[in-house]
Amino acid sequence: MSADLGRTPRSVLVSDRSSFRDEKNRLSSQVEQLHLSYKVSVLLPECSSAPAHLDTVFNSFNSFYLIRKLPVYELLDKHFLESAVYQGSVYGLSYRMRIDEDSCVALTPNGHLSLSLDKDAFELLGVEGKPSRFNHRTNCRYVVSVDLTDSSMAPGGRGYQRLLTGLRSRLQLKTDFLLSHHPGGGASLQALLSRYDWSEHRPEISSHTLTHLSCPSMQSCDPHSFLEWIGAVDADISCENSSNSFLSSLVCPEPNTTLSQALRVSVCGLLLPQDIHRLIQQIRCYLEQPRLASWVSLTVHGFADSPVSWGGNEHGVLRGGENFYSLLMFHDHTYHLHLATGAHDTCPP
C-alpha cells in the first residue's frame, strides 16, 4: 500500500451547541451558506411513517431544471440578469463535471458566477482570475469569480464585455446545467429555457424503515463518533461488527440503546436553503408533540463537484469532496450542529 493511501485524509469539523430560542444562534445563516446541496436525510427514531405535515414538506421541495449543452455565456444574457439574477436567488451548477478534471461552473444566490478552469481554459478565457488554492506543485488550475450584480459587470460595461467575449468567442464553454430560482421559479427562467433542450425535475424522495437499530446516547456522544454512526445509518451499513463481516468494522458508540424502529427519509436534487429551513421548522413542531423519542437528526450534503462550498469559498476535490452539515434537534429546542469538510476546503462558518 502506498504511503498516500495509508494516510488518513485531513478533515475539518466545526461543532456548535445552541438553542433555537437563543436570539444569537447562527443556524439560519449557516444553513443559507451551503448554497448548492444535493441531498437531505432525516432520521426519525421510533417512527414507521412520516406524519402528514412532514410528508407535505418533503413533497413540496422546489423543482429544478436541467438544461443540456448550455453555453455559459447565456448566464450573462441581459434578460436573464434582469428577470432572475437581480430579482431573487438563482442557484446553478454544471452537471456531471468533475472539479479536479473539467471546467466547472456555479451561479450562487448572491449573484456570483464562479468558474473552476484548467490552465488552458483559463488562458483562453482571458479574464482576471487566481490560481486555485488547492494546486500542489504547479499552477494547473485557476478560479474566476465574478459578481454579476456589481456595477462594473452591468451589460455593456468593460468588465461585462470582456467576460462575454471570452465565453462566447474564445473559450466557448458549454455544459449541462442545473438551474433553480427563488422566488419566481420557472417563469423567470422561461426565456432562457426556451432556447435550449431542457427538462423539469422534482426532487426524488426515498424512505426506509429500520428495525432494531443500535443508537448512541445523543447528548453525550462525541461529534466524530456521531457523524460516523449517522453516516453508517444513511448508507445502510451495519454497526453490529459481527466477526464474519468484511464490509465494516464500525460499532455503535457506547453507551447505546436499541430502537425498535426508525424511519430514514432522503430527498435528492438541487435543493434550496429555503426548503431546508421549512423542513427544520416542521421537525421542531414534530418534536413538540409527546413522542417516544426526544430527538431527530437532519443531514444536508453539498455537491462534491461544486466550485464553491460554504458561502463563496473555493471547493476542491482530491479524495472525497465532502461538504455537509448534520443537525441534531431535541424536544427542548436545543440542537447540536456539526459542519464538516474534507481536505480541500476552508473552515466552515
Q: Cα(8)–Cα(50) distance, rounded to whole angstroms? A: 38
Q: Cα(303)–Cα(35) distance, rounded to whole angstroms? A: 10
Q: Are residues 109 and 174 in the same domain?
A: yes
User: What mean pLDDT value characterizes the chain?
Assistant: 89
Whether the pLDDT of residue 7 is over 60: the answer is: no
Residue range 257-279, pLDDT digits in tens: 899 999 999 999 999 999 999 99
Place of cell 451499513: 237
More confident residue, 220 or 162: 162
DSSP per-residue letters across 289-335: S--S--EEEEEEEE-TT-SB-BTT-BB--SS---EEEEEEEETTSEE
pLDDT of residue 318: 64
Domain boundary among 176, 201, 226: 201
Domain boundary among 159, 174, 201: 201
What average pLDDT does range 13-38 have in this prediction? 93
Q: Is position 235 within any domain?
A: yes
Mean pLDDT lowest for which of 144-158, 161-175, 288-302? 288-302
Q: Is position 91 within any domain?
A: yes
What's the full length of the chain, in residues? 349
Domain boundary among 181, 201, 221: 201
Whether the pLDDT of residue 295 is over 90: the answer is: yes
Q: Is position 346 within any domain?
A: no
Q: Is position 161 within any domain?
A: yes
Q: What percent of the chain has pLDDT over 90?
A: 69
Per the structure, how many domains does the chain have?
2
Q: Are residues 40 and 72 in the same domain?
A: no
Contact between residue 240 and residue 214 where contact means Cβ atoms under 8 Å apart: yes
Q: Are residues 231 and 179 in the same domain?
A: no
Output b/e per residue, 104-133; b: 16+ Cβ within 10 A: bbbbbbebbbbbbbeeebbeebebebeebe
Q: Is position 349 within any domain?
A: no
Residue range 143-159, pLDDT digits in tens: 999 999 999 899 999 99
Q: Is position 230 within any domain?
A: yes
- Domain span at 153: 64-201
Q: Is position 347 within any domain?
A: no
